[in-house]
Structure 1
Amino acid sequence: MKVRSTILRITATALSAGALTWVAITGGVPGGSSPDTLATKAVADEGPGYAIEDFAYPNADKILAEQKIKLKRGDGHILLAQCTGAPEQMEVFSHKNEKVCFRGTGDKGYLSLEIPAVFGVKGNNYAAQVAMTTGTEEKTFTVDKNAWTAVGETADEQGRDFMLMEIRTSK
């Protein structure tokens, strides 16, 4: 009997020690999580999903419908702007859209877009390049700072229409 009672006492002590260790490590929360982790999980489960940036231009469909300018993607540092003639604006001239203006922000920018029949660009205080296509041919033009640059049709020996596809800027 004495051996049995000793075994029971040792077993009870071991179980108590194990339970105390479990409470100390996990804070007494099931699943081995701490109370802080559970609070985080509960908030995360109830909160909005992940925001994944696809770099799509905001309100692009509305701009296309109203202004016939297809803005695709960018880094947010080249923005469509109302043409005011301000020196910090880049002005793009097209037979289809007349004048379209952009404002640069930050040290560099990127914008993917489609503006047909572009023939001239007035640069701003950024170094800029515009990528254009005619048929299957692609050409890149360097835009002069704060000056007019012939691009597309006016820079092409054959006078072909070019579509503006990309603007890149840097300070």
Structure 2
Amino acid sequence: MRDRDVPAGKKWRRNRPAARILGTAAASALAVLATTAGILASPSGKAGTTTVADAGPGYAVEDFDYPQADKILAEKNLVLKRGDGHITLADCVAGTGQLELLARNNASKICFNVVGNEGWLALEIPSVYSMKGNDYSTTIDMTVGTEEKSFDIDENTWTPVGETADPEHRDFLLVEIRTSK
């Protein structure tokens, strides 16, 4: 079929694949030219642009450090180290199912909210002598000198721990809380 045999409005359809190929080739050539010009224009011989991978924020890696631990230490004199986020320091509110503990060095109770099926929190609270459990199975680890001791906390009631559970009444340091449903 010759051009004179094709009606005037239909000629573009015949050349459509050729136009696509030429358009793609032209776009590719412009991209190569722009990249080459950037390299040649740069004094170091490197392109003046960076790749997305070089400028991206990187991977989010959980380090399990307790958020705002420095602020909590300064304001409340509590050392919260690491955890999985399921046991968090909270203002004490009666009837909310919080873990509660009493320490000789603190004038008031220290409370923790617990969520999820299980949780853990590494911390350092000296002179803890009693802890009230909630609906979770809770175990705490304490140290005195080089000795480590674990205590199972009774659900929804106060449990003597540390010096009140020790025949020698030694001063224990609370170092970890673990919970599970």
Residue in 1 aligned with 2:84?
Answer: 75
Q: Does 1:107 align with 2:117?
A: yes
State which drifts further: 96-105 or 70-79: 96-105
Mapped contact 1:91–1:121 kept (Cα < 8 A): yes
Structure 1 spans left out of the alignment, 5+ residues? 1-26, 31-40
Identity of aligned residues (%): 57
Q: Distance in 2 between matches of 1:74 and 1:44?
A: 31
Mapped contact 1:90–1:121 kept (Cα < 8 A): yes
Q: Deviations over 1:1-32 (max 9, x none)?
A: xxxxxxxxxxxxxxxxxxxxxxxxxx9998xx
Question: How far did 1:43 drift?
Answer: 2.6
2:55 to 46, 53, 58: 46
Residue in 1 aligned with 2:101?
Answer: 92
Q: Deviations over 1:114-170 (max 9, x none)?
A: 000000000011000000001111100000011110000110001111010000000
- Summarize the alignment of residues 1-171 of structure 1 with structure 2, pairs less than 5 Å apart: 42-97=51-106, 98-171=108-181
- Secondary structure of 2:73's counterpart equals helix
- Counterpart amino acid of 1:63? I
- Secondary structure of 2:53's counterpart equals helix
Mapped contact 1:118–1:164 kept (Cα < 8 A): yes
Mapped contact 1:87–1:146 kept (Cα < 8 A): no
Question: How far did 1:51 drift?
Answer: 1.9
Mapped contact 1:87–1:124 kept (Cα < 8 A): no
Question: How far did 1:85 drift?
Answer: 1.8
Question: How far did 1:42 drift?
Answer: 3.1
- Secondary structure of 1:132's counterpart equals strand
Mapped contact 1:91–1:122 kept (Cα < 8 A): yes
- Counterpart amino acid of 1:103? N
Q: Distance in 2 between matches of 1:146 and 1:160?
A: 26
Q: Deviations over 1:63-117 (max 9, x none)?
A: 0011011000000100000011234100011011231100001000000000000
Q: Distance in 2 between matches of 1:105 and 1:43?
A: 38
Question: How far did 1:58 drift?
Answer: 0.1
What is the number of equivalent residue pairs in this alignment?
A: 136
- Secondary structure of 2:51's counterpart equals helix
